[in-house]
A and B are shown apart, each in its own frame.
Chain A
Amino acid sequence: MTTTQPKPANVASGATTGIAPGFSDPVHESQAVFRQILEAMSRPGMIMGIETTAEAPGTMAEGMAALSLTLLDGDTRVWLDAALAEHAAVADYLRFHCGCPIVQSPFDADFALIGSVDTLPRLERFSPGTAQYPERSATVVIEVPKLTGGPATVLTGPGIETTRDFDPVGLPDWFWSAWAVNRGSFPLGIDAVFTCDAEFCALPRSTRVEA
């Protein structure tokens, strides 16, 4: 195909004019989204909703986009899974709105954004922090097909009064045994956030799971 204005293929979907808008009111929207994230992290497995004016880029869902706009900036290294990386619009969006560096190795990431459970790497490929600085670990945000209706698990631990049922759809077979390893290495370990469109819930490393 010939065009009168040739442009490089890798910016075809992410030309400056094509970047989706972020929050229309960044201060108060990011505050509201943060409080939802804080609530989710404080009460593992509890499903929270996000109302946002931000548009999501490419294949990224709006909840994950709102989380990204709220938490990411030039101080956070971000890794994208294959599902998100294949659309240049996603990286362009994050670089434009958040100014975050995109890294090539999951182990280098402070935040890993996973667009599809099919391309979720093994959990040990993310940084668990160090014994003296366990906060230097990855937060892994995973888009799942649905947050409820999948194989049942029961959560206990900090933030949960007695127990909480948790049954996201689509996680790989190995996930819960990998999570047990993650929990076993506490205080090291990754923290997970599961998103589905505009809803999400969190699974901090302190949560124990009975699959």
Chain B
Amino acid sequence: MTARKSKRAGDETGYNFAYLDEQTKRMIRRGILKAVAVPGYQVPFGSREMPLPYGWGTGGIQVTASIIGRDDVLKVIDQGSDDTTNAVSIRAFFARTAGVNTTEETAKASIVQTRHRIPERKLRADQILVYQVPIPEPLRFLEPRETECRKIHAWSEYGVMHVKLYEDIARFGRITTAYAYPVRVDDRYIMDPSPIPKFDNPKMDDCPALQLFGAGREKRLYAIPPYTKVTSLDFEDHPFDIETWDEPCALCGADDSFLDEIILDDKGSRMFVCSDSDFCSARRAEGHTGPMADDPRFADPEPSPREEVSHAG
């Protein structure tokens, strides 16, 4: 292969735009259209080998590669953060193979690829959210046989899922599933929302943005069209609820976002901060402060201005 002189896609030789060949894109595109037409149903597709291992977001990457165009602005998050390995690698992958512009700001992105979070900022109708999915089958740990899972979905015989949730209540007094909490899409298919915290489940309901899901190793695509009813499974006497915290974000003071617990030393001190790094830094830029905002340990060496869209190359 020739030496890589530049990150511009046009100069990167040996690859088609966005890495995948056109035949593969067409196959995935047709699969996505069927996934949108049958919300929550898992469409099988011919997942390709990608230049990173299965389990690192190959499904999401293939979906993004099939929909992305030169004018798109891409944001990639991993557990809410733009700065973790997976997010940085995937963002660089598309900057290089497609030459697209990337951003860390949710509001400026036209496509957001995510691993295990939904951004706190409400998504718009002109945005698409692409999820990386490790295990798309919500029934997999209840019924290992693919053939049986298929029948359960086909005939909507979802009793086994409710039994699982009921057993949680019988044993622990509450439903203990905290992530990948099963949802029902448009009153029909039960769907795995990917391992997002159940905190994010309500954001899927009636969302103005199209939501696409790609599972590379498991070779499945599925989708939630915009403004679609998505309900988290529960019981009348044990209604679905989301996590709450006793304190706000230590840095931005937000009391309505998903917080990560961070251990600070070996004496038990800890802090809670927003998992969505863009949401937190935007709030701090607006002047919101949390209880530890003035702690010199967490001060930015030099507060940088909010990032603009970064141009590839």
A contact residues vs B (CB 8 Å cutoff): 26-28, 30-32, 34-35, 37-38, 41-43, 70-73, 75-76, 131-132, 134-135, 137, 139, 157-161, 186-187, 191, 204-206
Q: Establish whether residues A139 and B33, one from each chain, have CB atoms under 8 Å apart when the complex forms.
A: yes
- Is the C-beta of B27 less than 8 angstroms from some C-beta in chain A? yes
- Top 3 nearest A-B pairs by Cβ distance? A204-B37, A135-B34, A131-B154
- Is the C-beta of B123 less than 8 angstroms from some C-beta in chain A? no
Q: Which residues of A contact B225 (CB under 8 A)?
A: 41-43, 158-159, 204, 206
Q: Establish whether residues A31 and B69, one from each chain, have CB atoms under 8 Å apart when the complex forms.
A: yes
Q: Which residues of A contact B36 (CB under 8 A)?
A: 38, 41-42, 159, 204
- What is the bound-complex CA distance between A205 and B39, given in angstroms? 10
A-B contact count (CB 8 A): 106
Nearest B-chain residue to A193, judged by Cβ: B33
Contacts A38-B29, A72-B26, A157-B186 supplied; 8 other A-B pairs, CB < 8 Å: A31-B25, A34-B66, A35-B67, A38-B32, A73-B23, A134-B38, A135-B34, A158-B225
Contact residues of B between 49 and 69, Cβ < 8 Å to A: 66-69
Nearest B-chain residue to A31, judged by Cβ: B69
Q: Which residues of A contact B229 (CB under 8 A)?
A: 158
Contact of B38 among A27, A70, A76, A135 (CB under 8 A): A135
Q: Establish whether residues B30 and A206, one from each chain, have CB atoms under 8 Å apart when the complex forms.
A: no
Q: Which residues of B contact A187 (CB under 8 A)?
A: 38, 41, 188-189
Contact of B22 among A30, A132, A134, A205 (CB under 8 A): A30
- Is the C-beta of B267 less than 8 angstroms from some C-beta in chain A? no
Q: Establish whether residues B41 and A34, one from each chain, have CB atoms under 8 Å apart when the complex forms.
A: no
Q: Establish whether residues A34 and B29, one from each chain, have CB atoms under 8 Å apart when the complex forms.
A: yes
Given A38-B67, A73-B23, A191-B33, do A160 and B38 touch, yes or no (CB 8 Å)? Answer: no
Q: Which residues of B contact A159 (CB under 8 A)?
A: 36, 225-228
Min distance, Cβ A179 to any Cβ of chain B, angstroms: 14
Q: Which residues of A contact B85 (CB under 8 A)?
A: none
Min distance, Cβ A69 to any Cβ of chain B, angstroms: 10
Contact of A26 among B22, B34, B68 (CB under 8 A): B22
Q: Which residues of A contact B189 (CB under 8 A)?
A: 187
Given A71-B29, A159-B227, do A34 and B37 touch, yes or no (CB 8 Å)? Answer: no
| Interface hub of A32, A158, A204 (most chain B Cβ within 10 A) | A158
Task: Please encode chain B, from 14 to 52, with 1 for each CB lying within 8 Å of some chain A CB and 0 for all others.
Answer: 001100001101110111111111110101100000000
Q: Establish whether residues B39 and A158, one from each chain, have CB atoms under 8 Å apart when the complex forms.
A: yes
Q: Establish whether residues B154 and A132, one from each chain, have CB atoms under 8 Å apart when the complex forms.
A: yes
- What is the bound-complex CA distance between A41 and B223, given in angstroms? 11
Task: Please encode chain B, from 227 to 258, with 1 for each CB lying within 8 Å of some chain A CB and 0 for all others.
Answer: 11100000000000000000000000000000
Q: Which residues of A contact B155 (CB under 8 A)?
A: 131
Q: Which residues of A contact B66 (CB under 8 A)?
A: 34
Contact of B70 among A28, A34, A137 (CB under 8 A): A28
Nearest A-chain residue to B27, judged by Cβ: A75
Contact of A38 among B33, B41, B224 (CB under 8 A): B33
Q: Which residues of A contact B25 (CB under 8 A)?
A: 30-31
- What is the bound-complex CA distance between A206 and B40, given in angstroms? 11
- Is the C-beta of B151 less than 8 angstroms from some C-beta in chain A? yes
A-B contact pairs, 19 of them (CB 8 A): A34-B66, A34-B67, A35-B69, A41-B36, A42-B36, A43-B225, A71-B26, A71-B29, A76-B30, A131-B154, A135-B31, A158-B225, A159-B226, A159-B227, A161-B208, A204-B225, A205-B37, A205-B38, A206-B38
Q: Which residues of B contact A204 (CB under 8 A)?
A: 36-38, 225
Q: Which residues of B contact A160 (CB under 8 A)?
A: 227
Q: Establish whether residues B67 and A27, one from each chain, have CB atoms under 8 Å apart when the complex forms.
A: no
Q: Which residues of A contact B151 (CB under 8 A)?
A: 132
Contact residues of B between 144 and 194, Cβ < 8 Å to A: 150-151, 153-155, 186, 188-189
Q: Establish whether residues B29 and A186, one from each chain, have CB atoms under 8 Å apart when the complex forms.
A: no
- Is the C-beta of B210 less than 8 angstroms from some C-beta in chain A? yes
- What is the bound-complex CA distance between A70 and B26, given in angstroms? 7
Q: Establish whether residues A191 and B69, one from each chain, have CB atoms under 8 Å apart when the complex forms.
A: no
Min distance, Cβ A24 to any Cβ of chain B, angstroms: 15
- What is the bound-complex CA distance between A70 and B27, given in angstroms? 11
- What is the bound-complex CA distance between A75 and B43, given in angstroms? 16
Min distance, Cβ B154 to any Cβ of chain A, angstroms: 4
- What is the bound-complex CA distance between A42 and B129, given in angstroms? 13
Min distance, Cβ A93 to any Cβ of chain B, angstroms: 17
- What is the bound-complex CA distance between A137 and B38, given in angstroms? 11
Q: Which residues of B contact A134 (CB under 8 A)?
A: 34, 38, 41
Q: Which residues of B contact A158 (CB under 8 A)?
A: 39, 186, 224-229
Min distance, Cβ B39 to any Cβ of chain A, angstroms: 5
- What is the bound-complex CA distance between A139 and B33, given in angstroms? 10
Q: Which residues of A contact B228 (CB under 8 A)?
A: 158-159
Q: Which residues of B contact A41 (CB under 8 A)?
A: 33, 36-37, 225
